[in-house]
A and B are shown apart, each in its own frame.
Chain A
Amino acid sequence: MIVLLSLAWKSLRNRLLTTSLTVLSIGLSMALLLGVENVRVGARESFANTISQTDLIVGARGGSLQLLLYSVFRIGQATNNISYESYQHWKNHPAVAWTIPYSLGDSHRGFRVVGTTEDFYQHLRFRRDRRLEFAAGRSPQGVFDVVLGSDVAAALNYKLGDKIVISHGVAAGRGIADNDHADKPFTVSGILKKTATPVDRSLYIQLEGISAVHIDWADGAPPMPGEEVPASKIAKENMKVEQITSFLLRCKTRIATLQLQREINTYREEAMQAIIPGVTLQELWRTIGYAEDALQVVTLFVILVGLLGMLVSLYTSLNERRREMAILRVIGAGPGKIIALLVLESGLLALAGCLLGVVMIYGLSFIFQPIVEQQFGLYVPVQPPTPAGWLYLGAVLLAGILIGFVPAWKAYRNTLADGLSIRV
């Protein structure tokens, strides 16, 4: 076996160009497969990392996925708000450690404006235990202070002290002029450091700020002329918060979570729902699982093409190698050894391809990780292959060995037919 292995190795080395091309094609497809797997895992972790240490998300009754999406990922909109009284009720519940209220519905040039409180800056955690930090300035102190997520600051080129106007509604792009809260400009008081989560793509003001810009609005329409309340007459103390959109909640003990969830869901005063983020994320994965499967199938075909390339190169090399096979036979190598030689060759090619694939995916993730995180907010981990990744590696190796039997069988037939008379 050692002899055959060294023969196989030297034979491959002898055909350096085809060998390296074959290894490269298998390596590339392997890297693609592992890369897709890493991105998939990375996407899941990114999503899961967006929110940490939050036991429940609470909002008006409706779709649980919708609540998760608009509360955490700033995707979609709430159909209903919940009253501030109910929020206060749960905030002061003995089982609750902290809450972060969100009031949504306004935007600034396509970025969402979130009304919240000091709790947001104190308690929000992402990627296990990282907390929000300021790149500049500090949290809003007044009603018309605004804090920017890092992407917002970068995209709109804002700095501390800039005045900005927020718009009613969350339509992408510029707000409709009529809907602008132009009479009540905000001042940038702080800019957050990058988190690589949706936090970066929002603006943050106080809950009272949301109330302030809507103080003279009635039934969702701008004030009639003459009924406007100028910003100068607004003070935080006079602002009454009447409703919020949703809130994040942390229990004092994990055990209390399920009990509290049940309590909220059956709250008599108001129709509310509480969801466990992890559970709802699982629902989300099930929903988009089809797209992942499709991607997976495509990469599997890429692998298949790589392996077929190997088959073709081994098979076509056989004609040039008839002489070699006859020599091997005449010096005592039986058909078994001829077959073993070719199977070893394809096995070695597949092994080299797999190794190259792993090396490439390590290198590529190392190089591109910061770029991908910057551009897409997707944190792709540089890590050894996942269990699924190992499975793919093993399967490709096995397939490589099995494919070797095709040229091996052909070579065996050749040696039988040729005997000792070899056509050159």
Chain B
Amino acid sequence: MSAPAVVLRDVRFRYRSGPEILDIPELTIARGERVFLFGPSGSGKTTLLGLLAGVLAGYTGSVEVLGQDMAKLRGSARDAFRGTHIGYIFQQFNLIPYLTVRENITLPGRLQPARGKQAGDVNAVAQRLGIASLLERGVTELSVGQQQRVAAARALLGGPELLIADEPTSALDFDHRERFLELLFENCALANATLLFVSHDRSLAGKFDRQLSLVDFNRAQRQEPAA
């Protein structure tokens, strides 16, 4: 029985001397779960993702990702851990503009040898996401929907255990949104990856195993006096 995908205990975080952004007594996400995280702008969603991805440091409490205490990893080890075990999809502009689709998808594996070793077949991933015909194109020629699928392919290739998607569908129209989500679910299931999906669009929430409202478990936001 492997450790849960995410375990947070008594985590508090603030930027420099700014107000407290996060104060989370407890949060656990099991392996293989598909979690929908929502909350209004400024509720600390992106900050939380930064902690999970190991990009932000300087918090108190404990953050464990895939059984790894993030506080125990320093500098380049944290970057390597993220590069190897976590896939990440931004809201938009996910791709390096001067690389082709194929080069974008394979870049994480080339930067992190450990991920490169387990990288599967690029063509297969591209096939499943419906971008096989675009592989040799420059990314600037793609539509937003195509770009997000390329980003998903990059996040999924090499079988990361945790996939973090930060409002990946907000730039897509309804039809594309539905299709993108289906593809994401299919591929997460295939790769046996845990999915943490962040959005303020509650209409998508029903498709997930669990819905988390950040405002509910982040005490820092509740303490803010209502304006």
Contact = CB atoms under 8 A, between A and B. Distances in A.
A, B in one complex:
yes
Interface of A: 3, 7, 10-11, 13-14, 323-324, 326-337, 419-422, 424
B79 A329 contact: yes
Contacts of B46: 419-421
Contacts of A14: 97-98
Contact of B111 (A11, A331, A422, A424): A331
A324 B97 contact: yes
B113 to A, nearest CB: 10
B55 A330 contact: yes
B95 A327 contact: yes
Nearest to A11: B98
Contacts of A422: 90, 93
B179 interface: no
- The 6 closest A-B CB pairs, nearest first, are A332-B83, A14-B98, A334-B79, A331-B108, A334-B76, A332-B112
Contacts of B78: 334
B2 to A, nearest CB: 22
Given A420-B49, A420-B50, 16 more contacts: A10-B98, A13-B98, A328-B96, A329-B79, A330-B55, A330-B88, A332-B112, A332-B115, A333-B83, A337-B111, A419-B55, A420-B53, A420-B90, A420-B166, A421-B46, A421-B47
Contacts of A419: 46-47, 50, 55-56
A330 B82 CA distance: 7
Residue from A329, A333, A420, A422 with most neighbouring chain B CB atoms (10 Å): A420
18 contacts: A323-B93, A328-B96, A331-B107, A331-B111, A331-B154, A332-B80, A332-B84, A332-B111, A333-B83, A334-B75, A334-B78, A335-B75, A419-B46, A419-B47, A420-B166, A421-B50, A422-B93, A424-B93
A13 to B, nearest CB: 7
Contacts of A327: 90, 94-96
B30 interface: no
A395 to B, nearest CB: 30
Contact of A331 (B47, B75, B83, B103): B83
